[in-house]
Homo-oligomer: A and B are copies of this chain.
Amino acid sequence: MHDIRLKGFKKYNRIDDILPNFLKEIQELPFETILTENSLKRIVASDILSPVNVPHFSRSAMDGFAIRSETTFGASPNSPKIFKLVGKLSACETSSIGISTKDVIQVATGSPIPPNADAVIKLENTKRLENQIEVYFPVTPGQNISKIGEDIEKGDLLLSKGHSIRPQDIPLLLECSINELKVIKKPKVAIFPTGSELVHPGSPPEIGKIIETNSYSIAALSEIYGAQPFRFDIVPDDLILLQKAIEKGKMYDIIVFSGGTSVGEYDLLPSVISSYQNGKMIAHGFAMRPGSPTAIGFIDSKPIFCLPGFPVATMISFEVFVGPTIRTMLGAKKLDIKPLLYAELSKNIPSELGRRDFVRVSLEIQENKIYATPTRLKGSSLISSLVKSDGIVEIPENVEGLEKGMIVPVRLFPIW
């Protein structure tokens, strides 16, 4: 059996034997400075500390009356305390006068606290009688006041290097007067679909021709992982044309081919790459399903990926190899952007020892429990298996199948 197998891949590499070392050779890209308001989904290039206190003045956290707290002690609905209303501030107004023990000043949410006042009593806990205010409840010192630096102190770490900007991070930065920030540049990904059997979408269907779709899915995934995709035209199975494509690809940060990676005679790509003086194939053929014909390497120290031609294998292989490479170039904390959850398997899933399986599953929620059911239909060529699924369950190399009822981690496809 072994010598027969030699006609296929000489060796199927384990992902964990190759990928971590491969990623160690990936350099983080330089930063660029952009406006905070345009920073959604970008990766922070260095720790961001607050240059200011927030709030930068003591302010009311309520609509109500600024008061000296000790004067309210003992107030109750049955025996209210009575104060004189000596002023009224809008949210942005500062008071020139202070208050005595008999006074209150009306404040709005956000009003600076007037001199001498140390608390705010809520509008709802008072009653107004012309120029007098009846106070029905006591307040404690500092109550309903946001103090200087209460939210953020000068020098506090706001966001750390590698964080990806979410909607809530933008108001935090702006509030701290950080109106621009350094983010890592988006890796530029050159995408080359290869194969003489490929035709463009929209071409008339002919026997033997396949519509080229991989460059579109690779572009969409690249974008989601935070890179900037560049789709190139179909490259036929031709030595010279493949070399020309590689030359073009070397102008980008990452080079991705799809197709041309199996052990058939028309699969030229890995040997073309190896033939380059500054090219090296790191591994060709992985113990994984789908995606086993994947090849990864470097040309002029740019990472180059040869993804298998089958649409599902292309996408899974992208998630395993290209996605983490993009994230490493971005210096991102999270290499996988698919949220992780745990689900109970509703069926047995068979697998082979020594190979990592990526099983597409659909999820269903019943009584606060999430159930995962494999949606793998017939083969790795069938893109519908990915379309019908909500996420991926990995079966590790040292496990021979998963059993119904087991709780397994699921990586979710994002929802929009």
**Which A positions have Cβ atoms within 8 angstroms of B?**
1, 4-5, 7-8, 36-37, 40-41, 52, 55-57, 59, 61, 63, 77, 90-94, 108-112, 122-127, 136, 146, 150-152, 158-159, 164-172, 174-175, 177, 179, 195-198, 201-202, 205, 207-211, 213-214, 216-217, 219-221, 223-224, 226, 237, 262-267, 309-311, 315, 334, 337, 339-342, 365, 368-370, 378-379, 381-384, 386-387, 407, 409, 412-416
Q: Chain B: which residue is nearest A218 at the CB level?
A: B167
A207-B112, A217-B168, A416-B166 known; A383+B195 contact, CB < 8 A: no
A56-B205, A210-B110, A414-B414 known; A167+B37 contact, CB < 8 A: no
Q: Which residues of B contact A413 (CB under 8 A)?
A: 166, 168
Q: Chain B: which residue is nearest A180 at the CB level?
A: B202
Q: Which residues of B contact A384 (CB under 8 A)?
A: 151-152, 172
Whether A201 contacts B177 by the Cβ 8 Å rule is yes
Whether A415 contacts B337 by the Cβ 8 Å rule is yes
Cα(A33)–Cα(B224), bound, Å: 23
Q: Which residues of B contact A52 (CB under 8 A)?
A: 205
Oligomeric state, in number of copies? 2
Whether B368 contacts A407 by the Cβ 8 Å rule is yes
Q: Chain B: which residue is nearest A57 at the CB level?
A: B207
Apart from A91-B196, A167-B224, A174-B213, list 6 A-B contacts with CB within 8 A. Answer: A4-B124, A52-B205, A61-B379, A90-B197, A179-B202, A368-B407
Cα(A383)–Cα(B176), bound, Å: 11
A1-B77, A170-B213 known; A111+B208 contact, CB < 8 A: yes
Q: Which residues of B contact A57 (CB under 8 A)?
A: 207-208
In the assembled complex, the CB of A222 is this many whole angstroms from the nearest CB of chain B, namely 9
Cα(A383)–Cα(B167), bound, Å: 11
